[in-house]
């Protein structure tokens, strides 16, 4: 029977590079599966049910809320978004690691329900560098840049609620840090206890 996998929860402000880090983690480790969220919004062109999202009716989603079937969920304007517990637990039992890139509010909901998850906060090298990255995208108005920067300051103030903080001043080093975190977590006594007892 395979060892239970890890639930990796990754958060950080816009511009910290968490999307790039998550993409590289998935590419380099076939054991890592991306958590598929559920939503009540309509599919966009090219989106596949069960791959991009689980597309549910409002009634289905609310029924799952009533039955406590989400690790976390939120209502954004007229639509619900959430992380179904079943998909995550099934993959963990198969020995896969499940990666969830999520905002702080969602991560803190998950921490209450699934405290054994590994909570990693991605930080930029500095606020100056963060602002430079946001501006460098060239897709935001001045007002949007200021709004994102203000949100980033607020989000960073919550980093101490996570298990680990990784400063993304160099992508290769940041990925090595996360790999080290995963390896260290795999050596926790509670994870290897049964194997050790069976040998000694």
Within 65-152, strands assigned E span 70-76, 79-84, 97-101, 118-123
Q: Map residue 104 onto helix, strand or coil.
A: helix
Q: Report d(CA 19, CA 15) in Å as an integer.
A: 9
Q: CB of 52 within 8 A of CB of 43?
A: yes
**Calpha distance 98→136 (Å, rounded):** 31
Query: How sure is the predictor about 90, in pLDDT bands with cuts at 50, 70 and 90?
Result: very high
Q: Is the pTM of this model over 0.85?
A: yes
Average pLDDT, the chain: 92
What the block records as the tokens of 31 is 């054991």
Token pair for 117: 């998850």
Dist. CA 78–CA 67, nearest whole Å: 21
Q: How far apart are CA 81 and CA 75, in angstroms?
A: 6
Helix axes 142-156, 127-136, angle to 10 degrees: 140
pLDDT of residue 135: 79
Per-residue pLDDT band for 1 (boundaries 50, 70, 90) equals low
Of 10 and 3, the structure prediction assigns the larger pLDDT to 10
* Sequence-distant (≥ 6) Cβ neighbours of residue 180 within 8 angstroms: none
Domains and CATH numbers, the chain: 7-35+95-199 (3.40.50.300)
């Amino acid at each position: 029977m395979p060892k239970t996998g890890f639930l990796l929860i990754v958060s950080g402000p816009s511009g910290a590079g968490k999307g790039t880090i998550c993409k590289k983690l998935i590419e380099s480790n076939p054991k890592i599966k991306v958590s598929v969220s559920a939503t009540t919004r309509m599919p966009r062109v090219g989106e596949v049910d069960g791959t991009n999202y689980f597309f549910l009716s409002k009634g289905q989603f609310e029924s799952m809320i009533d039955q406590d079937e989400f690790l976390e969920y939120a209502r954004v304007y007229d639509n619900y978004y959430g992380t179904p517990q079943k998909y995550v637990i099934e993959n963990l039992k198969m020995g896969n690691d499940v990666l969830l890139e999520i905002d702080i509010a969602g991560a803190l909901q998950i921490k209450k329900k699934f405290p054994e998850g590994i909570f990693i906060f991605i930080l930029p090298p500095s606020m100056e560098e963060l602002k430079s990255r946001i501006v460098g995208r060239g897709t935001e108005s001045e007002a949007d840049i200021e709004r994102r920067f203000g949100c980033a300051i607020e989000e960073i103030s919550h980093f101490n609620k996570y298990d680990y903080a990784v400063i993304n001043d160099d992508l290769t080093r940041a990925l090595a840090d996360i790999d080290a975190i995963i390896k260290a977590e795999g050596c926790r006594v509670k994870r290897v206890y049964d194997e050790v007892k069976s040998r000694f």
